[in-house]
Chain A
Amino acid sequence: MRFLARRLGFYLLTAWAAITLNFLIPRLMPGDPVELLVARMKGNVDPAAIDAMRRAFGISDASPWRQYLDYLGNLAHGELGRSITFFPTEVSTVIADSLPWTVGLVGVATLISYLIGTSLGVIMAWKRGTWLDGVLPGATFMHAVPYFWVALALVFVFGVTLQWFPVSRAYGLDVMPGLTGEFARSVLYHATLPAITIVLASMADRILGMRNVMVTTLGEDYVVMAEAKGLTSRRVMWAYAARNAILPNITSFALSLGFVVGGSVLTEIVFSYPGIGSMLLKGVENEDFPLMQGIFLVISLAVLVANFLADLAYVVLDPRTRQETE
């Protein structure tokens, strides 16, 4: 459990760093955000909005230390300030409305991509030297493709040309949100293209990474031994080689999560998906600094939680991390 405790400590530290970064960014970047906003809106700002913003940033005449403590206090109460775009809605409400869409879409797509990518990597390593190696150049190419470009291409082919799938929104205009089968079908139908985008764009990393580790593992003596004992290839491939090869793969998966989330932000924007990525862009476009910052904070914390889950999976798979002695 020491392993988990250490990781948890690191994530708490990182969460604190993200929170502090969030406090520092508006103060360190050139210009006062409040004055910037007033200048850009040419004075057409609700005085109440300015006041709310000052409070959201904790910008006052108090000492920086006092401001920082006030900010932490507000945060502890879930107080992220009020959005300028949707004034007077609270930033936390805007986020609460959009977060489920993102978590659903990105969570499911990432899981699918991980499962397919890793399995493909295992199989490709097992059958290396066969026609399956033909996938490699394709994976090498997909590994560097920008998410939003995949999204544009899918919209063009399946949305506009073939008209198989809708290209924007999260559910049809004709259905009422609710716990009905019709609504669920509409949501799935609308999520198809965005999900395929994320799966396609993030899968190549998993295939290439898993294949490389697996190929190295296949040369280990215990794999040769297992084969010599006459175990079925399936058992050797999955229970002996893949089970060991998957450990570095989980670490690299956790590290790539930030990148996947960044790509998903862009994907959401292409599809006008009502998630947190679209909200982030709206915030930036409207100089809605409280919304922008609240979203950055939530995305960072979500990535930390996902990382911790990956660590839990690691502990389950690797008995060495469960040993009490160092």
Chain B
Amino acid sequence: MKIKIGAGILVFFALMAVLGPLLIGADPAATSEDGLQGPSAEHWLGTTQTGQDILLQIVYGARVSLGVGVLSALIATVLAVAVGLVGGYVGGAVDEALSVLTNIFLVLPALPLIIVLAGYLPQRGAASVAVVIAVTGWAWGARVLRAQTLSVRRRDYVQAARASGEGPLRIVFYEILPVLLPVIATSFLATVVAAILAEAGLSFLGLADLSTVSWGSMLYFAQNGQALLIGAWWWFIPPGLCIALIGTGLALVNFGIDEIANPRLRTIKAPRKART
């Protein structure tokens, strides 16, 4: 049940990001005469100071926020897979070195590092922001994947592959990687959410590309447009709510999986249920 609700939320936002702009086809940055109006039949979520429609901005913003999140998580996951699998499989000094590197990046505070790196960027486009976030966000995945690789490499079929003369690269990427796909997928999703949060924080500080509409830049303009002092709650509530909902969706999926693995965690003490 939890998995279904969580996946439903994630699919909803994914569809919104992919299809939403195609279906609406209006300019989210277009201004109008109706500035700072509360939610109404015409503007479901109200308007900004310059009369931009907030619902429209949320739909288009989903594309940028999720886009940066997914791109960044892709890069981070490739790094995590490389570091985690190679370290876990090769072992020895290589593994020691990669583990220490992973642990260092786990301990260093990510957001201050992202802010400093963004400060040096000559152009803060979506792609460079995604790279900066990825550089600081791969360590958790690498740590989990290394632990998993350590257990998989002892399995018989991997030993058999080695005995039959397969090279280490082939074993890591053709024998071990496919088995770890579910773990990689979970860590990828978690990284997407972390990256969305980081992008939102960066945009909110005005350190990302402010010419495109994203949830973070909406919050930046709401804060700088004195939305709080004017009482325009409809301006800053929706973007943050969307970010939190995506995080909730992911957490529900994760908790659902945990409950399947560990039945004690289930909340309902139903005597016998067909499925959870």
Contact = CB atoms under 8 A, between A and B. Distances in A.
B108 A144 contact: no
Contacts of A255: 106-107
A299 B243 contact: no
A26 interface: yes
A146 B243 contact: yes
A262 B111 contact: yes
The main secondary structure of chain A at its interface with chain B is helix
A304 B104 CA distance: 10
B204 interface: yes
B106 A289 contact: no
A152 B100 contact: no
Contact of B247 (A145, A212, A299, A300): A145
A212 B265 contact: yes
Nearest to B268: A129
**Most chain A CB atoms below 10 A, which of B193, B205, B239, B250:** B205
The main secondary structure of chain B at its interface with chain A is helix
B269 A129 contact: yes
A156 B228 contact: yes
A219 B106 CA distance: 31
Interface residues of A, number: 68
Interface in A251-301: 255, 257-259, 261-263, 265-266, 269-270, 280-281, 283-285, 287, 289, 292-293, 295-296, 299-300
**Most chain A CB atoms below 10 A, which of B100, B113, B237, B265:** B113
Given A160-B231, A303-B108, A140 B248 contact: yes
A215 B247 contact: no
Interface stretch (B35-43, B71-79, B176-184, B251-259): B251-259
A14 interface: yes
Interface string A86-115: 000000000000000000000000000000
A270 B223 CA distance: 8
A133 B119 CA distance: 44
A129 B197 CA distance: 32
Contacts of B201: 146, 148, 262, 266
**Most chain B CB atoms below 10 A, which of A11, A141, A155, A295:** A141
A299 B112 contact: yes
Contacts of B104: 13-14, 17
Interface in B65-116: 100, 103-104, 106-113, 115-116
Nearest to B197: A146
Nearest to A302: B109
8 closest pairs, A vs B, by CB?
A: A144-B247, A262-B111, A149-B240, A258-B109, A29-B120, A284-B119, A145-B244, A296-B116
Interface of B: 100, 103-104, 106-113, 115-122, 193, 197, 200-201, 204-207, 219, 222-223, 228-229, 231, 233, 236-237, 239-240, 243-248, 250-252, 255, 258, 262, 264-265, 267-269
Given A129-B269, A149-B236, A208-B255, 16 more contacts: A29-B120, A136-B267, A140-B248, A148-B201, A156-B231, A216-B265, A259-B110, A266-B201, A266-B204, A281-B205, A284-B118, A296-B112, A296-B116, A299-B109, A299-B112, A303-B108
